[in-house]
Structure 1
Amino acid sequence: MGNRFFAWCASLLLALILLPVQAQAADQVAIISAEPAQLKVGNRAIITFQATLLGETPAARAQRAEVVIREILDGSADGRVSVDAIQDSYLVLLGDRRAFIVSPQDLGATDADVKQAAEAAAQRLRQVVEESGQARSVRFLLIAAGLSCAATLLYLLLLKCTGWLHQKALSWLPKRMRKHTSALRIGQTPLMDTSNLYPLVRRLLALLRWTLVALLTYEWLTFVLQRFPYTRPWGESLNKYLISLLRYVLDGMIAAIPGLMIAVLIFFLARGFSAFSKRLLERLSRPGTISWLNQETLQPTTRLTALAIWLFALAMAYPYLPGAGTEAFKGLSVLIGLMISLGASSVVGQAAAGLILTYTRTLRPGEFVRIGEHEGTVTEVGMFTTSIRTGLGEVLTLPNSMITGSVTKNYSRVVQGQGYVVDTTVTIGYDTPWRQVEAMLLEAARRTPGVVEAPAPQVFQTALSDFYPEYRLVAQAVPSEPRPRAELLTVLHANIQDVFNEYGVQIMSPHYLADPEQEKRVPPERWYTAPASKQHKDEQP
């Protein structure tokens, strides 16, 4: 006891002599900067030195403290840890020897903070002393090994139970799904198809199983590592990491609740405004209210209005969405904007052309039109494309930008009532009376089924060329007839040939140059030359 007291007095006297010199040097000369060094004993970090003290760098201080602590732990000296204050620093003693000094330069903080850091380092040193004793205890190590074995057996049992529950769920799930999906029917049609739903549920069960396996493995490893002194810091770090991760997730979820509530409120308001605008537009589309808003333009106008409302709501709610201020969200926004700017020019052009066609009512479904070299019945006018059905069994999909950039002939818009216009052109020589030509063309139109009598067909002389006049027959057809325009024109052209042959007039289409030596016409007795046969549809009533 006396030797320990004299040794402690000597250390204290030496520190009292050296510390004023150190304080004076700190005031006059800057502390030599060096890399921080961590004092680590028994795989446990005690403190990190950051300042040069008494001419020793942080690395030298950490090495000296580690040597002193190991000497004391390996020997039979007293392992008590205490803290003594020396001016503005704190001396951490292990037994009667100085382990290390905690100075303000190590923390750059006030005296109270330095004292707390010294007490925390002393507490960690006490834990190192305790673990050092446990590592030398055979009884403690045997107990730790037994607990680890028991934890391992429990871990394997839980893994087996997890696999058993997974198999039971896979065998039980199809029966329950078939039972419930059979009840969800509209008439004899099931609302859900188990063949498509079962793989998804099976993958979700597999994901749940492997998540449980990962959590069990993590907890088993944490428990086993904490049983042994040397690996205990690793187990504690794993446990702290899991707790901090869960705390981070929960804090993020709780912090996101106010923003989510505001975003949901904005979306509910947008939904209400969208429904109100729909009812308002339906009321404004009544006849006599707004000329451009009718039943044809009501649906696209409603969609555009709803789209504008939802885009505005999304822009307002974006700052309140979780993660909106993160770099990931910013990068995603930049990527989406770049994709839209590079690839959406044609899409925007097509959409604008679709809006022009819709609001100018250039085309309507059911009308017969000619767009460039394509003609047929309009089946759908979409936002980006328009579909027409030809008389040859084809369905053409035309870009809206092409339609707005070309001349469109509408054969259905100017007719009286339902139907469409059919027309054809012939050229006849000047030696044939024009009155006879007009009468024959009108007779051919009357013989054609589907051509209506009111309004009556008309014949126009569209040109007086050098060798022939040009006659154009214009008539109206009824769309309820079960034939497209191409078939009706075929029958009309056949009747024109028959009528002209009956009256002995030759058709010099498309160009009349001179009279041939023999007339180019077909007498009635040659109309049904083999293999042709007389058909009922060609007979005149």
Structure 2
Amino acid sequence: MYTLLFYSSSRKGLFLFGLWAALQLMLFPAHGQTTGPDSAKTDSVVQMDSLQQARLIQELMANRTADLLREAQLQAQLMALEEEKQARAQQMLREMDSLRGVTEGAAVAPFEDTLFFLYAPVGAFTAQDRAEHVRDQLNEIVETETGFVPDSLRIIISEGNYDLVYLDQMILSITPFDAAWAENTQKALAQGYLEQIQLSVVDYEDAYGTLQILKRVGIVALLLILIGLGYKYLNKLFQWGDDRILNWSRRRMKGLKLRNYEFLSVEQQEQVVHWVLIVVKWIIIAVLLYLVLPVLFSIFPATKGLAQTLFSYVLDPLKSFAWGFINYIPSLITIVVILVITYYFDRFLRFLAQEVEQNKLHIPGFYSDWSMPTYNLLKIITYTFAFVMIFPNLPGSDSNIFRGVSVFFGLLISLGSSGAISNIIAGLVITYMRAFKVGDFVKIGETEGVVIEKSMLVTRLRTIKNEDVTIPNVSILNGATINYSSQTDEKGLILNTEITLGYEHRWEQVHELLIGAAKKTENVKAEPAPYVLQTALDDQFVRYEINAFTDIAEIADRTYSSLHANIQSAFREAKIDLLAPQYEVEHPWPDTPGRKKPTE
């Protein structure tokens, strides 16, 4: 029988149990069954019992089958609820993960000391409303006459929430959403909040007790006395040090001079040393007071925040500077690398320019006098490109103020430097035109002189009268330029002057006299030889032009003067007047007797 009951734990077991019982009734008689006249009644009873037993077994099987079906339905419902619960939890976690970076928690700070933060709303109450409610409830508790009893603060579970209750006063309700925000269980989170509140309230009551206040007053009085004594003896120490340093300085001070100019006399040096000592003294006193005042304020809880504020005025900028410098190190390394590369690239360009300038390196179609201007142009381009690369790495380059100032200066430069830019472009064009170089004797407009300076903006000439004339490059580009020195190293500059003589003089003699006078002139080259041109045959006279070569153009005025003097001497010796024949003048020639008066 017990074996049959074991098999009845399932529908298959019940079916086997029924089948087995029917076979027992058909194959084996009941225990103690006999044959004979009285056995019919007994067989009838046994058969009725067997039928009833079979009926009961069938009912039992039907009930068991229904229970199993109901159990399966309930299990399916439980699994569906659990899956739905997990899906809601996952959805809630995803929502919270998306809100963590943008949601600011509401600080629960009942005694100017933040205990924890609340993020989740409850019903119509926002997180800030909940935080203010906790603060107000704790302030009411500490203001009661009975004081705070830590054991009266307990946790009560109500409708799936963990409530913090003090006596019969609701402090805070921790919801599953709060636990999810904290990534903790409701029970652990509630227990942590409870302990934090208990500790904070106890510390607050201890801090504002009468005995504690008296002790703090005593500490403040002691510190004030020490401050007064320290200030007194610090002044004496500085006075002693001031006297010693001034005495030492007076023995060694000789005044500060640079060549013949005296920057500071001995008395002025003494005043500077005394002033520096006074400044150092007050800086030290100010620093000490700044360090002492926060200590005084931190003694009383009510002014503790002020102490932290005073410290923060110094520590926060220092921390900000330190962290800013640490965070700026990668950008600083980038700037250093860019500057190093730019510096060595500039040196490479300078080396190439010097090689070309000294004719050690020849580039077809590139003149040596172009080397340094080209180097300067490439240098500007290189450093401009480097600055463009460095600019995004400068501190504050992405701020609106920095951008505004940059735009302002850019606009100011663009509007105010239009003329300068024109001169710079003209200077570049003049450089590559090779119209002249420094040291050439040129004529620009109406100005003649030696080029003493060429820049990107202007060109400076020094005239024969030692006058320095500055000419904008735009004016040079827009006008004509005569270079007297361009051929002096090869053929030479041709100096020419013109005379007029009548037809009565033989032209061969005139040519000989002019060429002779030119050869006697200083700074006139023998080769190519001077020559004469008859430039015109007028009605009364002939025009003769003497041409002579010189390789020193910058003193052409002196050479002209010497040539004119030699021409006068030559014609005077030849008894020929350098006059136009419209009029004839009789001169007393003391050394030429018998000279006839010419007819008009």
8 Å CA contact 1:102–1:118 kept in 2: the answer is no
Counterpart-to-counterpart distance in 2, 1:158 and 1:215 = 13
User: Would the alpha carbon gap of residues 60 and 326 (structure 1) be closer, same or farther in structure 2, given more than 3 Å must change?
Assistant: closer
Superposed CA offset, 1:393-447 (max 9, x none): 2122222232232211111212355975544455667787766665555455345
Give 1:372 shift. Answer: 0.9
8 Å CA contact 2:137–2:171 kept in 1: the answer is no
- Partner-residue secondary structure (3-state), 2:469: strand
Q: From 230, 237, 244, give the equivalent of 2:316.
A: 244
Q: Tell whether 2:295 aligns with 1:223.
A: yes
Give 1:464 shift. Answer: 6.7
More helix as a share of residues: 2
8 Å CA contact 1:388–1:397 kept in 2: the answer is yes
Give 1:392 shift. Answer: 0.4
Give 1:504 shift. Answer: 1.5
Q: Tell whether 2:181 aligns with 1:110.
A: yes
Counterpart-to-counterpart distance in 1, 2:205 and 2:588 = 127
User: Would the alpha carbon gap of residues 238 and 311 (structure 1) be closer, same or farther in structure 2, given more than 3 Å must change?
Assistant: same
**What's the counterpart of residue 150 of structure 1?**
226
Give 1:373 shift. Answer: 0.7
Q: Considering only CA atoms, is the larger Rg found in Structure 1 or Structure 2? A: 2
**What's the counterpart of residue 139 of structure 1?**
215
Q: From 268, 284, 298, give the equivalent of 2:371.
A: 298
Moved more, 300-309 or 279-288: 279-288
Counterpart-to-counterpart distance in 2, 1:134 and 1:470 = 127
**What's the counterpart of residue 515 of structure 1?**
582
**What's the counterpart of residue 77 of structure 1?**
147
**What's the counterpart of residue 442 of structure 2?**
369
Q: Tell whether 2:339 aligns with 1:267.
A: yes
Counterpart-to-counterpart distance in 1, 2:236 and 2:494 = 80
Superposed counterparts of 1:276-287, under 5 Å = 276-283=348-355, 286=359
Counterpart-to-counterpart distance in 1, 2:241 and 2:419 = 54
Q: From 273, 289, 295, give the equivalent of 2:362.
A: 289
**Per chain length, whose mean CA-contact separation is higher, i.e. which structure has more relative contact order (CA < 8 Å, sep 6+)?**
1
Counterpart-to-counterpart distance in 1, 2:396 and 2:455 = 37
Counterpart-to-counterpart distance in 1, 2:460 and 2:131 = 85
TM, length-normalised to structure 1: 0.65
- Partner-residue secondary structure (3-state), 1:297: helix
Counterpart-to-counterpart distance in 1, 2:211 and 2:124 = 34
8 Å CA contact 1:90–1:118 kept in 2: the answer is no
8 Å CA contact 1:371–1:406 kept in 2: the answer is yes
- Partner-residue secondary structure (3-state), 1:398: strand
Counterpart-to-counterpart distance in 2, 1:379 and 1:413 = 15
How many residue pairs get aligned? The number is: 468
Q: From 422, 431, 439, give the equivalent of 1:358.
A: 431
Give 1:56 shift. Answer: 12
Superposed counterparts of 1:398-409, under 5 Å = 398-409=471-482
**Counterpart AA for 1:110:** W
Q: Tell whether 2:422 aligns with 1:346.
A: no
- Partner-residue secondary structure (3-state), 1:137: helix
8 Å CA contact 1:364–1:378 kept in 2: the answer is yes
Structure 1 stretches lacking a partner, 5+ long: 1-35, 183-188, 508-513, 526-541
Give 1:391 shift. Answer: 0.8
Counterpart-to-counterpart distance in 1, 2:253 and 2:334 = 38
8 Å CA contact 2:354–2:372 kept in 1: the answer is no
User: Would the alpha carbon gap of residues 123 and 401 (structure 1) be closer, same or farther in structure 2, given more than 3 Å must change?
Assistant: farther
TM, length-normalised to structure 2: 0.59
**Counterpart AA for 2:362:** T
Superposed CA offset, 1:473-512 (max 9, x none): 44334549xx9444444444455566666621226xxxxx
Structure 2 stretches lacking a partner, 5+ long: 1-104, 591-600
Q: Percent of aligned pairs with the same residue?
A: 27
Counterpart-to-counterpart distance in 1, 2:503 and 2:195 = 123
